[in-house]
Amino acid sequence: MNAKNEEMGCIEAIDVMGIAAEDRLEPGLVAGFEEHLAECRSCATYYDQLRHTRQTLRSLPRDDRPSHPGRQALLDHFRKQFGGDAS
Interface with another protein (CB under 8 A): 10-11, 14-15, 17-19, 21-22, 24, 41-43, 45-46, 48-50, 52-66, 68-71, 73-75, 77-79, 81-84
Query: CB-wise, 4 or 54, nearer to another protein?
Result: 54
Minimal distance in Å, beta carbon 24 to another protein? 7
Within 8 A by CB and 6+ apart from 34, the residues are none
Within 8 A by CB and 6+ apart from 42, the residues are 10
Minimal distance in Å, beta carbon 5 to another protein? 18
Distance CA 3, CA 18 (A): 17
Minimal distance in Å, beta carbon 73 to another protein? 8
- Count CB atoms within 10 A of the CB of residue 16: 21
